[in-house]
Amino acid sequence: MGWNSWNKFRTQISDALVREIADAMVSSGMRDAGYLYVNIDDGWQGRRDEKGLIRANERFPDMKALGVYVHSKGLKPGIYSSPGPRTCTQYEGSYGHEEQDAATYAGWGVAYLKYDWCSARAVHQTAEEQRAAYQKMAVALARAGRPIVFAICQYGQNGVGEWGPRTGGNLWRTTGDIRDTWASMEQIGFGQDVWTKFAGVGHWNDPDMLEVGNGGMTDTEYRTHMSLWALPLLRCSPATTSAR
């Protein structure tokens, strides 16, 4: 359980904002209620250096220092990449740099990786290639020297519930992207029963992030949203929220 930047901020995320969120998670009591992850989604990436090492962009001047700050609050930092050459918003992906990126993330103190399919379909075109791409990063994370939760984000394709755990995934998306509307939330929230059999200790179904607080639904609808995501928590999914 934790917070993810995407549904609220898209790519307009920064070091200062992540620190503000970490502070708010402590002062609001969310940390003490078990919301521990502070996940930076797409938009943090800069360029690779001459050795191929990924660097953050100008909005993140020192990722290692940011990781230290998040950990100092009793929280765990998370990050985002793709098995393709580019991410969903055309930032640098991890294709061909899996070992380097996993080691870099570990050095920054990262404890969670969301690995989003997007451009990967241009270089991994079969179901077998998709599984292999996710397993390649899972192996790299296992060698990186620190525990990192691995979130497989490929929208519930190709029977991921069956192979997600075997490839090293801790959770996998069961659906396309949620929208901040009742119709989207209802369709996803009431459609998770078919996935229940795939969840277990250490690996969960992921019906995508909560939209609570973002303004597209009423308070009553948001309470329904939260309840639906919480009901199957022991068997289904660790909830992430983009509400501030």
Decide if 184 contacts 178 (C-beta within 8 A): yes
Nearest to 211 by CA among 57, 14, 1, 7: 7
Decide if 209 contacts 241 (C-beta within 8 A): yes
Amino acid at 189: G
Cα distances from 120 to residues 126, 129, 141, 161, in angstroms, run: 11, 10, 19, 19
Q: At a CB cut-off of 8 Å and minimum separation 6, what does 13 contact?
A: 5, 40, 41, 43, 44, 59
- Could you confirm whether 116 is annotated as catalytic? yes
Query: Reduced to 3 states, what is the DSSP secondary structure of residue 137?
Result: helix
Nearest to 40 by CA among 150, 102, 114, 117: 114
At 215, list the tokens. Answer: 């303004």
Give dist(CA 137, CA 188) in Å, integer: 28
Decide if 106 contacts 67 (C-beta within 8 A): no
Among the listed residues 41, 116, 180, 206, the single catalytic one is 116
At 112, list the tokens. Answer: 């969670």
- Could you confirm whether 32 is annotated as catalytic? no
Pairing, β 54-56 against β 45-48:
antiparallel
Catalytic amino acids? 116, 177
